[in-house]
A and B are shown apart, each in its own frame.
Chain A
Amino acid sequence: MYEELADEGLVIISVALDQSGEDIRPFIEEAKPAHPSLIDTEHVLADLYGMVNIPTAVWIDEDGNIVRPNEPVFGSDMFKDFHGMDTDIHKNELRAWVREGKLPFSPEEIRARQMLPTRDEQLARTEFTLAWHLHGAGHADAAERHFVRAGELSPNDFMVRRGSMPIRGLDPMGEPFFELYEEWQARGRPYYQARDRKEALGE
């Protein structure tokens, strides 16, 4: 579906937030997308776009403005497939945007749907950066401490908590993930909550 829209002028940029291109390569080679598949080992996009899980999509218009914000599509988290991230509603809306320039949200609605990060969420991302660096330098114990700290600071950030599992030698498809998921369910599934500046920063 995405490739058909690419023929109509849509640029698709897919980015894997994985610890190595080799983790994602088999999926890319099987899917054989026509568009470039990028690798973001430092989770730069997670910080820039406030992403808390994958898959996450953002629509950007010709002027470089976000016209559909970071909306994690929390579909089947057990069996993620590169092409299978979307609900039908999202697909239809995407088609309407590409073909007719139709936007589902006004700028005010986009802002209302954004989840602005708190200080702790930003600190969690910074702890993750430090942990990743320590891991790369061969300091696994220190890295572990900082990955754990990151998770404590931002318990609902799956990018931090689940994204760190492969790096830490934990199975992101197994028991550690089931525990994370149950714990998240028990907290009332606080997955994606739009949050404005006042709630995020107290301003």
Chain B
Amino acid sequence: MLDEASRRELPVTVSDTHLLIAPETLSEILGWELKPQGLCRDSACFPVADSDGVVIDGAIDLEGFARTVGRPLALDREHRVAALGTAAATRADAMESLVAPDFRLPDLDGRMHTLSEHLGKKVFLVAHASW
């Protein structure tokens, strides 16, 4: 599972119709809790109805989880890899705040640089590429 900056091994029970994870996997690896209020992380909870098909015999359907919390999930069943991306709503919140998101990237010599190290200065951030 590729989740933001991390790459984690995710124990998953795979069937034709479902990819099921244990609640412990959900909390320990993905950082979400299944509570009576629904799927929760920090102070946000997304309600889950029995009919949603998200919780099956106490296990959590990975696609149902992603759908409920609004996050994009890309799956490759053949190679058993998944990527969990940023929810459009989360990105909208962040963009509307006008706060420039911090990042940490290497230069060509492998030294890491952040945006936040330049707080207090005007920054001209330009993205380019060889293509």
One of A116, A125, A165, A203 near B85 (C-beta < 8 A)? A125
CA distance A110 to B124 in the complex (A): 16
B10 at the A/B interface (Cβ < 8 Å)?
no
Chain B: residues with CB nearer than 8 A to chain A?
A: 2, 7, 70, 72-76, 78-79, 81-89, 91-92, 94-96, 98-103, 105-108, 111, 113, 115-116, 118-131
Report chain A residues within 8 Å CB of B78.
142
Report chain A residues within 8 Å CB of B92.
116-117, 197, 200-201
Report chain B residues within 8 Å CB of A82.
128
CA distance A143 to B41 in the complex (A): 31
Given contacts A45-B103, A146-B74, contact A18 B125 (CB under 8 A): no
Report chain B residues within 8 Å CB of A116.
88, 91-92, 95-96
Do B129 and A18 touch across chains, with their CB atoms under 8 A apart? Answer: yes
CA distance A114 to B122 in the complex (A): 20
Do A126 and B122 touch across chains, with their CB atoms under 8 A apart? Answer: no
Do B103 and A85 touch across chains, with their CB atoms under 8 A apart? Answer: no
User: Can you give 10 contacting A-B residue pairs, CB < 8 Å?
Assistant: A10-B123, A45-B125, A60-B125, A116-B92, A122-B72, A126-B73, A133-B83, A137-B81, A142-B76, A197-B96
Instruction: Say how far B77's CB is from chain A's closest CB, in angstroms.
Output: 10
Chain A: residues with CB nearer than 8 A to chain B?
A: 2, 5, 9-18, 21, 23-25, 27-28, 36-40, 44-51, 54-66, 80, 82, 85, 94, 97-98, 107, 110-111, 114, 116-119, 121-123, 125-127, 129-130, 133-134, 137, 139, 142, 145-146, 149, 162-163, 165-166, 172-173, 197, 200-201, 203
Report chain B residues within 8 Å CB of A18.
129-131
Instruction: Say how far A140's CB is from chain B's closest CB, in angstroms.
Output: 12
Do B126 and A85 touch across chains, with their CB atoms under 8 A apart? Answer: yes
Report chain B residues within 8 Å CB of A44.
103, 105
Do A130 and B125 touch across chains, with their CB atoms under 8 A apart? Answer: no
CA distance A166 to B72 in the complex (A): 25
Given contacts A66-B100, A126-B74, contact A55 B91 (CB under 8 A): no
Do B88 and A119 touch across chains, with their CB atoms under 8 A apart? Answer: yes
CA distance A149 to B65 in the complex (A): 21
Report chain B residues within 8 Å CB of A114.
95-96
Residue of A nearest to B124 (CB): A12
CA distance A129 to B116 in the complex (A): 24
Do A15 and B116 touch across chains, with their CB atoms under 8 A apart? Answer: no
Do B100 and A64 touch across chains, with their CB atoms under 8 A apart? Answer: yes
One of B113, B119, B128 near A63 (C-beta < 8 A)? B119
One of B85, B102, B128 near A122 (C-beta < 8 A)? B85
CA distance A201 to B88 in the complex (A): 7
Residue of A nearest to B106 (CB): A39
CA distance A94 to B125 in the complex (A): 12
Do B127 and A139 touch across chains, with their CB atoms under 8 A apart? Answer: no
Do B126 and A64 touch across chains, with their CB atoms under 8 A apart? Answer: no
CA distance A59 to B115 in the complex (A): 12
Do A146 and B126 touch across chains, with their CB atoms under 8 A apart? Answer: no
Do B99 and A46 touch across chains, with their CB atoms under 8 A apart? Answer: no
Report chain B residues within 8 Å CB of A64.
99-100, 102, 115-116, 119
